[in-house]
Amino acid sequence: MGSFQWFTELTPRERRTLYAGFGGYAVDAFDFMIYSFLIPTLIAAWGMSKSEAGMIATSSLISSALGGWIAGILADRYGRVRVLQWTIATFAVFTCLSGFTHSFWQLLTTRTLQGFGFGGEWSVVTIMMAETIRSPQHRAKAVGTVQSSWSFGWGAAAILYWAFFALLPEQLAWRACFWIGLAPALWIIYIRRNVSDPDIYVAARRARESGFDTSHFLQIFSLPHLKTTLLGSALCTGMLGGYYAITTWLPTYLKTVRHLSVFNTSGYLVVLITGSFCGYIVGSILCDRIGRRASFVLFALGSFVLGMVYTMLPITDSTMLLLGFPLGIVVQGIFAGIGAYLSELYPSAIRGSGQGFCYNLGRGIGSFFPILVGTLSQTTTLVKAMGVVAGSGYLLVIVSALCLPETKGKSLSEAPSIA
């Protein structure tokens, strides 16, 4: 319990910001993950191909990468809280509109536009949380706790999917799963009433000239910050690429090659989601205890090793069910500290721009890792292709982390503001 004592030390303002970020990221996860549950239904209802279904998912990821950088730039200019509200409204509205679509092209459009809000929300909420926490030794735990809400959103998507399909006709149930996505927009009311921009950001904004200078956000590519931007982008590319390579193809491998069926059970989903939640908590605690870089290296090694255990060793359905818990821990725990770490690498004036660019460029490039696995599997086995691609991603994490500075215990006010 001592690991959670930090929460009692937060001020009321810090707690309100944590609640706002936690709720915002949870509904972000719900609106994004609900599509994955509906793919089989949409394929059957519209005669949509698997390639088209995958195109919708990829398009949403690519737009989220662009949306994350744009939101970071806007957050530096217009404020963290205001832009957070914009991103929540964006993904909620377009998720709801997805329920009114009648064709592949219509759904591709709404999900692509939804992606802008999805990517932007992560960028803004992690910066806002990192800047609000006064104590550097609690920063990763607070940001990691906010990110752990992804598991709650994922779980809510699974529960509502089951409930709607149990209570409504199928042709109405899938639409209701999208329509309910508008409800999270109500979270904006809580944010407007209870959350304000961090003092660090307000001070940096007052120190800048009032005009919107396009060269301002481009400072992340200037000589003092270029190395950080390149290595930070490589770090995120490795994390997200390795994650996508394993999680995208693992179900296919275990079903088609190993002929295991546990992926079709709700029990496995519960175990995996629970492990994911614990991964965020464990990862955030480790980041504050052993440092950001050591934590990234540890989880990168763990993700690769466990991914190979799944594919290389003979396992049964019951063994795979048990392994779902540690798999959830390692593949999600690696992300627990990245929000705090990127915030610590940049000064306040360009923090949103830098963090938004690095993480979302990584997401954009990483979204092509599953395609690379599929391409390599044409000339070799699927398991070897997964090992090469995922292994390359996690090796990139290790090299990038070792080349970047350690920021554990760093005060965000230490970084000089760029005028």
Of the candidate ranges 7-11, 111-115, 215-219, 362-366, the one whose mean pLDDT is the lowest? 215-219
Of the candidate ranges 13-22, 75-84, 311-320, 325-334, the one whose mean pLDDT is the lowest? 311-320
Domains assigned to the chain: 12-198 (1.20.1250.20), 220-407 (1.20.1250.20)
User: Residues 305, 310, 315, 319: is their CA dihedral positive or negative?
Assistant: positive
Tokens of 367: 């979204």
Contacts of 392 (CB under 8 A, 6+ apart): 238, 241, 242
Q: How many CA atoms lie within 13 A of 282 on its CB side?
A: 18
Share of the chain above pLDDT 70, in %: 92
Which secondary structure element, helix H or strand E, spans residue 364, and what is its range? helix 351-366
Q: Return the DSSP state at 103.
A: S
| Helix axes 187-194 and 12-46, enclosed angle (nearest 10) | 160
The neighbour count for residue 209, using CB atoms within 10 Å, is 8
Of the candidate ranges 20-34, 108-122, 208-222, 399-413, the one whose mean pLDDT is the lowest? 208-222
Which residue from 320, 242, 333, 230 is spatially nearest to 281, judged by alpha carbons?
333
Q: Return the DSSP state at 260.
A: -
Distance from C-alpha of 141 to C-alpha of 118, rounded to nearest angstrom: 22
For residue 418, pLDDT beyond 70 = no
267 and 308 Cβ atoms separated by less than 8 Å: no
For residue 293, pLDDT beyond 90 = yes
Confidence of residue 102 (pLDDT cuts 50, 70, 90): very high
Tokens of 154: 């994922």
- Average pLDDT of the segment spanning 298-308: 88
* 350-367 tens-digit pLDDT: 888 888 899 989 988 888
* 199-229 tens-digit pLDDT: 888 877 776 655 544 446 788 888 889 999 9
- Average pLDDT of the segment spanning 47-63: 82
Angle at 360 between CA 287 and CA 337, to 5 degrees: 5
Tell me the pLDDT of the chain averaged across its residues: 84
N- to C-terminal Cα separation, the chain = 44
Please list the alpha-helical segments (H only) found in 168-222. Answer: 170-179, 187-194, 199-207, 214-217
Q: How many CA atoms lie within 13 A of 4 on its CB side?
A: 4
| Helix axes 338-345 and 104-132, enclosed angle (nearest 10) | 70
User: Residues 107, 110, 116, 119: is their CA dihedral positive or negative?
Assistant: negative
Angle at 202 between CA 190 and CA 225, to 5 degrees: 115
Output the CA–CA distances (angstroms, integers) from residue 8 to 138, 277, 288, 366, in the order listed. 11, 20, 17, 37
Phi/psi of residue 136, nearest 5 degrees: -60, -30
